[in-house]
């Protein structure tokens, strides 16, 4: 499928900038050539994704959401990274597979979906491992539909319920309004969670949620909304507690870590909803998970 023309009047994400990304950039500050900042094995995803060797994580430069507290802000907000051709991106996927990656983990790929599809078209037959669409949850069903037959697992980080909160922290007052139908589309494409004999997730949707300091009520409202919209066996929930104040967190009123009380309040609501899932320990600060990023192609690829 050639969907590169979608860059010429870009409406890939709910911002719908309409930018001609062959000539300029939109809110995500990225043009029509794919850029990444890192492609390595990553051992800090959920256990059913990381397994023994880790996910083959490809971190895309730029972001259509740009939250003010982003742990990866050099990449998401400051657009650190380097350009690749579609062939090089395809070879990057193969390199990760050859390193033993349990899956290909596309981190914040929304604004580069046409390039991802072009690259996957080159290697789908030989990849042999699941493909994860690991995104910020601010998605369009039409864009997600392009991924049918390409993405096996969706890993949205569902961030906000209240429009005022998403407006102030991510300039996206319509965040939840857009995210809910996107989640429904993800379950439609990926189906219910399912595993292979080794406990590897091979299909389904894991909804992540990072609890923010001072905003447990918003997290609880989010869990209730999920409970009203999805049956317990339709999605998995991954509740994350390791928020660490970085980037503009202080000025946004997020200047500390999450308390045990805040986290347990949200956990109780998720458990009451009956969702299966994962809990990440409070002892691990986010800095532990923040990898090194690069502004140049730092690994060898064939014909490069
Ligand atoms: S992907 Fe980027 S250019 Fe396209 S609509 Fe979203 S923010 Fe705008």
pLDDT tens-place string over residues 149-206: 999 999 999 999 999 999 999 999 999 999 999 999 999 999 999 999 999 999 999 9
The residue whose CA is least distant from atom 2 of ligand 1 is 28
Query: Does position 285 have pLDDT exceeding 60, yes or no?
Result: no
Within the chain, strands assigned E span 35-42, 55-60, 82-83, 104-107, 131-135, 153-156, 194-195, 201-210, 236-240, 276-279
Question: How many A from CA of 26 to the centre of ligand 1?
Answer: 5
Percentage of the chain surpassing pLDDT 70?
A: 96
The residue whose CA is least distant from atom 4 of ligand 1 is 10
**How confident is the model over 8-35, as pLDDT tens digits?**
999 999 999 999 999 999 999 999 999 9
Choosing from 10, 23, 34 the residue with most ligand 1 atoms within 8 A of its CB, the one to mutate for a pocket test is: 10
Question: How many A from CA of 273 to the centre of ligand 1?
Answer: 34
Options 3.30.930.10, 3.20.20.70, 3.30.413.10, 2.30.22.10; CATH for 37-289 is 3.20.20.70
Query: Does position 273 have pLDDT exceeding 80, yes or no?
Result: yes
Cα distance between residue 160 and residue 16, in whole Å: 20
* More confident of the two residues 127 and 278: 127
Query: Does position 284 have pLDDT exceeding 90, yes or no?
Result: no
Using CA atoms, how far residue 14 sits from 21, 27, 89, 210, in Å, is 16, 11, 25, 21
The residue whose CA is least distant from atom 6 of ligand 1 is 13
Mean pLDDT of 67-84: 95
Mean pLDDT of 102-127: 97
Q: Which residues does a 6 A CB cutoff place in the pocket of ligand 1?
A: 10-13, 15-17, 19, 21, 26-28, 64, 111
Q: Which is the closest atom of ligand 1 to the Cα of 30? A: 2
User: By C-alpha distance, which of 65, 234, 68 is closest to 136?
Assistant: 65
């Amino acid at each position: 499928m050639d969907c590169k023309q979608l860059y010429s009047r870009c409406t890939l994400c709910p911002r719908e900038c309409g930018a001609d990304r062959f000539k300029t950039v939109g809110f995500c500050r990225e043009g029509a050539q794919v850029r990444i900042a890192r492609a390595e094995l990553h051992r800090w995803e959920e256990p059913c994704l990381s397994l023994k060797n880790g996910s083959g994580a490809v971190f895309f430069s730029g972001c259509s959401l740009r939250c003010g507290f982003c742990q990866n802000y050099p990449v998401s907000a400051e657009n650190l990274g380097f350009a690749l051709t579609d062939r090089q991106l395809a070879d990057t996927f193969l390199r990760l597979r050859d390193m033993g990656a349990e899956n290909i983990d596309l981190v914040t790929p929304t604004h580069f979906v046409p390039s991802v599809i072009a690259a996957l078209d080159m290697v789908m037959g030989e990849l042999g491992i699941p493909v994860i669409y690991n995104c910020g949850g601010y998605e369009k069903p039409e864009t997600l539909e392009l991924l049918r037959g390409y993405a096996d697992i969706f890993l949205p980080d569902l961030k906000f319920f209240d429009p005022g909160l998403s407006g102030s922290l991510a300039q996206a007052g319509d965040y939840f309004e857009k995210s809910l139908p996107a989640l429904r589309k993800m379950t439609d494409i990926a189906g219910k969670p399912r595993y292979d004999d080794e406990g590897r997730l091979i299909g389904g949707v894991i909804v992540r949620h990072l609890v923010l300091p001072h905003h447990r009520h918003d997290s609880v409202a989010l869990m209730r909304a999920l409970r009203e919209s999805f049956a317990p066996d339709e999605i998995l929930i991954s509740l994350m507690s390791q928020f660490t104040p970085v980037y503009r967190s202080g000025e946004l009123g997020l200047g500390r870590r999450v308390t045990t009380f805040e986290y347990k309040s949200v956990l109780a609501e998720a458990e009451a909803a009956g969702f299966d899932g994962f809990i990440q320990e409070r002892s691990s600060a986010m800095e532990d998970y923040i990898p090194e990023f690069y502004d140049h192609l730092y690994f060898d690829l064939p014909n490069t």
